[in-house]
Structure 1
Amino acid sequence: MESVEMVLFMLLAVVASGYLVRVAPFSLPLPLVQIALGALIAGGFNHGVTLDPEIFFLLFLPPLLFLDGWRIPKDGLFRDRTAILALALGLVVFTVVGAGFLIHWMIPAMPAAVAFALAAIVSPTDPVAVSSITARVPIPKRLLHILEGESLLNDATGLVCFRFAVAAAVTGSFSLASASLTFLWLALAGLGLGVGVTLVVSSAQRWLSQHVGEESGSPILISLLIPFGAYLLAEQLRASGILAAVAAGVTMSYVELTGRALATTRVQRAAVWNTVQLALNGTMFVLLGEQLPDMLRGAVASVRQSGHLNPWWLAAYALAITLGLALLRFIWVWVSLRRALFKARRRGTPGTRPHWRLLLATSLAGVRGAITLAGVMTLPLLMPDGTPFPARDLAVFLATAVILLSLLMASVGLPRLLKGLVLPEEPTASREEDLARHDAAIAAIAAIEKVQRAELRETFDADLHTQAAARVIALYQRRLDGGATGESAGQLRKAEQIERTLRVAALQAEREVVFNLARHRRISDETSRRLVREIDLMEARYR
């Protein structure tokens, strides 16, 4: 019963955090408020929730990563794939090496393998934390898409490095060839399984709907189950469940472009997923806060493991590691930019040098989150000979401190760093929307005229059809005053029914054109998603 009460308090804390952020006299970062509420809940119950990493990964990561993969703009993901892969692969390895040497140099009592394991688990950025922070910051869309893509893909690299660093600490040996093959299997098999699960489930659902029919809520429930199926299957086959969930979400966005789902289903599904995202995002940070009391109680042992007596050394270590991670990230981004500008000059194309504040913002936006916490909790308690795993409490405490400091730096620093910065205009979205609306309007008028001609062959109410069609083609003008012309109530109701039929036909034609433009990459899926939702809401009204 106490565990049920704890879950209810966590969900109430998520709700309360949203109100606290809005009524506070000064700007409060939402993740930090949720962490503070989690710590208060743990204090009220005299203990926090025992974090089981496997259960945590299963319950929280698949749906959130699936949704991020589903909603991330794919045109930006593929356009900036070189920069994203450089951050997701190269930067992680660079960070593991640089931070590993830094940690071992600062804390000689921590074995080198454990230092590299700690560096590996704090190297990947957290997609949930990145989304929570950047949602409240005026950041350029292209940079935002790069950060989102990086955070979705770099977990596999960091977790592979972490796994082999822990193995080296336990066995005392390390094989680069084995690590490389393992990484390839984790990445490629995880991506393939994610794509396959979504395609198979979507095809099966479509076949069953056509031949058997379905309940109205079935497509929504199936969309909620897909990420768990992809994650569990990948983990069962020793592949990356994280990448499988991401790949399943990306594939789902392409399945969505077929336009087979009903408008009402899409509207209801979006509401359900928004609620799931709010609850899981907030609960992750509340859960992180609930780990703090136990972490602080373990700080005494961590001080002894570090070889010092003054507990302030722990704060110094955590701050040094956090700043070191930001510095390594800044160096990587700066070198990558210089390399890109050099290549642009060699090709004879002018390169745009971004403002230095954007470079610094990219460094601060490398936020660590619950994935780091859950990963570091998987450190073994004992060595094969039965002795305690060296510096485990210290590694767990430092990882938690790095999460908090990176959240604090990004929450406080990014808004102030980007305040007043004139961002370059991004007219692409406006042009895409104008193109989609123009083509959709042409298709809608053609559909109205087609339905009107078909209806006129079967009815003698030509005047009513003409009046209704004129009103719809005029893009929802004020209705003509039918009462003034002496029309009966029955005729008005019939005219409304005719108009409703024409409107639905027009909206269906609009939506198909928008989907077609997105399939052929003439507009971004972000623009298409916004327009389709607008059309779906209008169709739901008329149905």
Structure 2
Amino acid sequence: MDAIAISLTLLLIVVLSGFVGRSLIRVPLPLVQIAFGAIAGLAPQLEIDLNPEVFFLLLVPPLLFIDGWRIPTDELVRDRWNILHMALGLVVATVVLVGAFIAWLVPGFPLGAALALAAALAPTDPIAVTSIARRVPIPRRVMNLLEAESLLNDATGLICLRFAVAFLLTGSFSALSASATFFWVAGAGLGVGFVITFAIVKAKTWIAARIGEDPGSQIVVSLLIPFVAYLLAEAVSASGLFAAVAAGVTMARAEATGAALGATRIQRSAVWDSVQFVANGIVFVLLGEQLPLILTKAQSTVADTGHHSLWWPLMLIVAIYAVMFALRLVWVWVSVIVSRRGAQRDTAREWRLIAATALAGSRGAITFAGILTLPVALSDGAPFVQRDLVILIAMGVIVLSLITAAIGLPLLLSSAAGLPPQDRSQERAARTAAATAALSEIARISALHIAPDTEADAYGAAASLVSKLYLQRLEALGRQTEGEATARPDTRVLREVQLAAVRAERKSVFLMRRQKSIGAITARRLVRELDLLEAHYEI
């Protein structure tokens, strides 16, 4: 089967698995996609010879970019120490401790291979947790921590994987040199991602201000940004992964200026939702598709270790996952103890959240993408005989972590009892301020048309009607006000006043976001509502 037919088949499988996972069975979507991929992998016509470099380039940068774009940056800053503690400290601890455990557990297993496996397993995947979160009430702050941790530990884990592979190939390792290299590739990667994205955003804004904004070209440019940032960073020996993350975060900051048209934001969001769905889906479908082949190849490696049953690697998978979960549980517990030192604590609820945070650290797309980059031969030309076993263990841990999260999280968070209620006061305040800004804009428009003529009467009626709607909204938000419409206004004038009011609201929301009086999630929700309302009025 040629590349085009395989690509179309993969897309079809992603769509079908998405339909089944969302509509017919209550199982996390990644598990459904893995199952569909495994079934498809049994067909010899769909045997796919993966090129790890192409696979990695096409799928990883856009996934990191969109995660960085959509992460709430104010929450990222607020919880920065907890996030760094999890995304850097836990990754390094996982590589060292779990890597040493794997080397001890499997006699004859090269230490470099054990460290590479641990590094590939270190990053967590929030997509699987998000699919579970639709059915259980994961607190917003915990979800933010999981998403931000995954955003950074993806890049950290994959850089550690590079070091582990270098150690596997050369047999030498310098902690000082590795640390210096890490800070260089990470810092330079972040810098490249920021500079490239900032320059592209400025150029787009300058062009749009002079010749107008075309949503289609804006969307295409946003699709190219992660690949440009990744490739340029790699060209200067920096981390393309951190560059993709930085590009996404920079795009999120640029959004706060409100420079793009509402129509562009609506279309771009839909396109990126599709890109994220397809990219993640293809990763999990390919994982399932490769599973039968890897099982077959791993049998010979298992036999070389003196075992003749696949129950042995299954026990390895369970043992490795158990150690990783225990390490994560202790790490989260210590992080909570340090961050809440001296504060009043609710022990029962706290332990539920600690256990849920530890269990939610399931592995997924980045682990699979990373493990496929392992070399097939060592530096002396000898084949890397444990490669298939390493990939099999990584796949097994991914599946096991998804299953335990799917079972355990609903049990831990089966009801909202004992969990803090979501605070909506910031959103109410933002809606009140936006509605007040809209009323001011309506009053300004009405004041521009005060001459006693037909058009003035139309603007007065439109202003009165639209003002009444906003006053009713303010009353519902807690401010007692009154307003009456005097007459049914002209449709064209009414639409003009409505659009002006919506744009004034949105301008107020962007201003509050830049002043940090509201959070990124609240601002994003309000801007999306206003963009859709604007699109409705423009029809």
Fold match, TM over 0.5?
Answer: yes
1:168 and 1:116 map into 2 onto residues whose CA distance is 9
Point out where structure 2 has 5 or more consecutive residues left out of the alignment: 473-482
Deviation per CA, 1:410-459: give whole Å up to 9, x if none: 1222122221352433443x111111111111111111111111133595
* Cα distance change, pair 461–382 in 1 and its aligned pair in 2 (3 A): closer
1:286 and 1:458 map into 2 onto residues whose CA distance is 68
Find the counterpart in structure 1 of residue 11 from structure 2. Answer: 11
Q: Judge which range, 322-331 or 39-48, deviates more.
A: 39-48
Find the counterpart in structure 2 of residue 376 from structure 1. Answer: 371
The percentage of aligned residue pairs carrying the same residue is 49
422, 427, 430: which one pairs with 1:436?
430
2:486 and 2:44 map into 1 onto residues whose CA distance is 66
Q: Judge which range, 263-272 or 176-185, deviates more.
A: 263-272
Find the counterpart in structure 1 of residue 413 from structure 2. Answer: 418
Aligned letter for 2:457? Answer: D
Find the counterpart in structure 2 of residue 486 from structure 1. Answer: none
Find the counterpart in structure 1 of residue 170 from structure 2. Answer: 171
Aligned letter for 1:284? Answer: V
Find the counterpart in structure 1 of residue 509 from structure 2. Answer: 514
Q: Judge which range, 180-189 or 268-277, deviates more.
A: 268-277
Find the counterpart in structure 2 of residue 505 from structure 1. Answer: 500
Note if contact 1:63-1:245 (Cα within 8 Å) is conserved in structure 2.
Answer: yes
Deviation per CA, 1:350-384: give whole Å up to 9, x if none: 35544322211112111111222222222222223
Q: Judge which range, 13-22 or 451-460, deviates more.
A: 451-460
Q: Give 3-state SS (helix, strand or coil) of 1:138's partner.
A: coil
Matches within 5 A, 1:27-46: 27-46=26-45
1:65 and 1:184 map into 2 onto residues whose CA distance is 19
1:504 and 1:340 map into 2 onto residues whose CA distance is 46
* Cα distance change, pair 325–289 in 1 and its aligned pair in 2 (3 A): same
Q: Judge which range, 172-181 or 451-460, deviates more.
A: 451-460
2:32 and 2:109 map into 1 onto residues whose CA distance is 33
**TM-score calculated relative to the size of structure 1:** 0.92
* Cα distance change, pair 50–239 in 1 and its aligned pair in 2 (3 A): same
Displacement of 1:465 after TM fit? 2.1
Q: Give 3-state SS (helix, strand or coil) of 1:309's partner.
A: coil
Find the counterpart in structure 1 of residue 87 from structure 2. Answer: 88
2:171 and 2:259 map into 1 onto residues whose CA distance is 55
Matches within 5 A, 1:33-182: 33-182=32-181
* Cα distance change, pair 385–246 in 1 and its aligned pair in 2 (3 A): closer
Aligned letter for 2:140? Answer: K
Find the counterpart in structure 2 of residue 265 from structure 1. Answer: 264
Note if contact 1:109-1:305 (Cα within 8 Å) is conserved in structure 2.
Answer: no
1:221 and 1:529 map into 2 onto residues whose CA distance is 21
Aligned letter for 2:363? Answer: R
Deviation per CA, 1:446-480: give whole Å up to 9, x if none: 11111111133595533222211110101178996
Note if contact 2:510-2:523 (Cα within 8 Å) is conserved in structure 1.
Answer: yes
* Cα distance change, pair 149–423 in 1 and its aligned pair in 2 (3 A): farther
* Cα distance change, pair 96–112 in 1 and its aligned pair in 2 (3 A): same
Aligned letter for 1:410? Answer: A
1:132 and 1:427 map into 2 onto residues whose CA distance is 20
Point out where structure 1 has 5 or more consecutive residues left out of the alignment: 484-491
2:433 and 2:416 map into 1 onto residues whose CA distance is 36
2:241 and 2:127 map into 1 onto residues whose CA distance is 13
1:252 and 1:409 map into 2 onto residues whose CA distance is 35
Q: Judge which range, 445-454 or 410-419, deviates more.
A: 410-419
Aligned letter for 1:336? Answer: S
Note if contact 1:91-1:332 (Cα within 8 Å) is conserved in structure 2.
Answer: yes
Note if contact 2:22-2:29 (Cα within 8 Å) is conserved in structure 1.
Answer: no
Matches within 5 A, 1:319-398: 319-341=318-340, 344-345=341-342, 349-351=343-345, 353=347, 354-398=349-393
440, 448, 460: which one pairs with 1:466?
460
* Cα distance change, pair 470–421 in 1 and its aligned pair in 2 (3 A): closer
2:128 and 2:23 map into 1 onto residues whose CA distance is 22
Note if contact 1:14-1:279 (Cα within 8 Å) is conserved in structure 2.
Answer: yes
Aligned letter for 1:529? Answer: R
1:363 and 1:45 map into 2 onto residues whose CA distance is 39
Matches within 5 A, 1:243-254: 243-254=242-253
* Cα distance change, pair 187–465 in 1 and its aligned pair in 2 (3 A): same
Note if contact 2:119-2:161 (Cα within 8 Å) is conserved in structure 1.
Answer: yes
Aligned letter for 1:502? Answer: V
Displacement of 1:23 after TM fit? 4.6
1:458 and 1:306 map into 2 onto residues whose CA distance is 95
1:445 matched to 2:439? The reply is yes
Q: Give 3-state SS (helix, strand or coil) of 1:474's partner.
A: helix
Displacement of 1:85 after TM fit? 0.3
Displacement of 1:22 after TM fit? 4.4
* Cα distance change, pair 289–340 in 1 and its aligned pair in 2 (3 A): same
* Cα distance change, pair 455–220 in 1 and its aligned pair in 2 (3 A): farther
Displacement of 1:129 after TM fit? 3.7
1:524 matched to 2:523? The reply is no
Deviation per CA, 1:293-347: give whole Å up to 9, x if none: 1111112122124332232111111111111111111111122223334xx32xx
Note if contact 2:137-2:415 (Cα within 8 Å) is conserved in structure 1.
Answer: no
Note if contact 2:79-2:145 (Cα within 8 Å) is conserved in structure 1.
Answer: yes
Q: Give 3-state SS (helix, strand or coil) of 1:380's partner.
A: coil
Find the counterpart in structure 1 of residue 480 from structure 2. Answer: none
1:289 and 1:169 map into 2 onto residues whose CA distance is 27
2:418 and 2:523 map into 1 onto residues whose CA distance is 24
Aligned letter for 2:448? Answer: A
Aligned letter for 2:111? Answer: A
Aligned letter for 2:81? Answer: T
Note if contact 2:129-2:405 (Cα within 8 Å) is conserved in structure 1.
Answer: no
1:192 and 1:29 map into 2 onto residues whose CA distance is 36
* Cα distance change, pair 465–339 in 1 and its aligned pair in 2 (3 A): closer
Q: Give 3-state SS (helix, strand or coil) of 2:363's partner.
A: coil
Displacement of 1:162 after TM fit? 2.0
* Cα distance change, pair 542–47 in 1 and its aligned pair in 2 (3 A): closer
Note if contact 1:47-1:293 (Cα within 8 Å) is conserved in structure 2.
Answer: no
1:278 and 1:45 map into 2 onto residues whose CA distance is 26
Note if contact 1:13-1:37 (Cα within 8 Å) is conserved in structure 2.
Answer: yes
**TM-score calculated relative to the size of structure 2:** 0.92
Note if contact 1:140-1:423 (Cα within 8 Å) is conserved in structure 2.
Answer: no
* Cα distance change, pair 423–281 in 1 and its aligned pair in 2 (3 A): farther
1:335 and 1:261 map into 2 onto residues whose CA distance is 43
1:463 and 1:371 map into 2 onto residues whose CA distance is 62
